[in-house]
Structure 1
Amino acid sequence: MSRKETMKIIHTPAVPAPRGHYSQAVEQNGFVFLSGMLPASDTIDPATHDFRQQCEAVFHQCQQVLQAAGCGFGDVVQATAYLVGVENWSLFNEIYASYLGPHKPARAVVPVPALHHGYAVELQLIACVPGGV
């Protein structure tokens, strides 16, 4: 069986469909790889929604995609966050901890000068499907 045959595309209508040539997530060999998630443009406007609101939207979207893959935040093994403005790091950390609780996966936080569509946060996750490895 080829790798492509074992790859499973994860999609949930609870999150806006990608506007580019990529999937919301892909499951392969017991791991789920979530694409970088920006706040949903149909509900969050970077000109009027602050950093906290943008983070809450991103975490909610990630939660929906993880659920569609049979996972939760407790199954996340690695997270990469891109933040516009290093001054947002502590607020991001507070919101991150509220969603992940005592679970502490590997993580990188990358301050960047800008993100697509003017958003201030993007989150990319890798999770392990319970019983999948």
Structure 2
Amino acid sequence: MTSAPLVGIAPTRAPKTVGPYVHAMRHENTVYSTCILPIDPKSMQMVGETAEERFRRIYTNLGIVLEEAGSSYQRIIKQTLYLTDMEDFNSFNKVTIEFLGDHRPARATIKVLALPLEAKCGLEVIAATN
């Protein structure tokens, strides 16, 4: 019996990763993302003056990764949100509804001291494929 292959997901439309890893890995029917940051794919700069702008960029980047992996926002099973400022929590909820509608995945929120590139927030997900 052979093991199911692991497939690295590294869409060229998404911002480049900031280290030696891919945006996500797909194993069988499950996608595991890295921590998606609010980076503009063209400029490779952190974007967003407000928390809502940052979260919209994160979800846009995530959508690119999920699509490449054969998944979608509606197939997210679990989200892990990383915040340097818990005051941004309600903004994340608002933007989540914009992107996920009535879909309600499980979620953990973790306050951190710092994230790569001095990002103020990041999001990783586990999702099922379509």
Once the two structures are superposed, the pairs formed by residues 48-127 of structure 1 within 5 Å of their partners are: 49-127=49-127
- Following the alignment from structure 2 to structure 1, what is the Cα–Cα distance between the partners of residues 83 and 129? 27
**Relative to structure 2, which stretch is displaced further, 112-121 or 66-75?**
112-121
TM-score of the pair, normalised by structure 1: 0.87
Match of 2:46 in 1: 45
Alpha-carbon RMSD: 1.6
**Post-superposition, which runs of at least 4 consecutive aligned residues in structure 1 deviate over 6 A?**
none
- Following the alignment from structure 2 to structure 1, what is the Cα–Cα distance between the partners of residues 45 and 112? 20
Deviation of 1:94 after TM superposition, in Å, equals 0.8
**Unpaired runs of 5+ in structure 1?**
none
Deviation of 1:51 after TM superposition, in Å, equals 1.8
- Following the alignment from structure 1 to structure 2, what is the Cα–Cα distance between the partners of residues 37 and 98? 18
Opposite residue 20 of structure 2, the aligned amino acid is H
Residues 46-98 of structure 1 deviation map (CA, whole Å, 9 limit, x = unaligned):
6x732222111111000000011111100000100001111111111111121
Match of 2:9 in 1: 10
Residues 79-127 of structure 1 deviation map (CA, whole Å, 9 limit, x = unaligned):
0000111111111111112111101111111122222222111000111
Aligned residue-pair number: 127
- Following the alignment from structure 1 to structure 2, what is the Cα–Cα distance between the partners of residues 103 and 7? 27
Opposite residue 49 of structure 2, the aligned amino acid is H
- Following the alignment from structure 1 to structure 2, what is the Cα–Cα distance between the partners of residues 115 and 50? 17
Identity %: 25
- Following the alignment from structure 2 to structure 1, what is the Cα–Cα distance between the partners of residues 15 and 84? 22
Deviation of 1:44 after TM superposition, in Å, equals 4.2
**Partner SS state of residue 83, structure 2:** strand
- Following the alignment from structure 1 to structure 2, what is the Cα–Cα distance between the partners of residues 97 and 113? 26
Deviation of 1:29 after TM superposition, in Å, equals 2.0
- Following the alignment from structure 2 to structure 1, what is the Cα–Cα distance between the partners of residues 62 and 114? 21
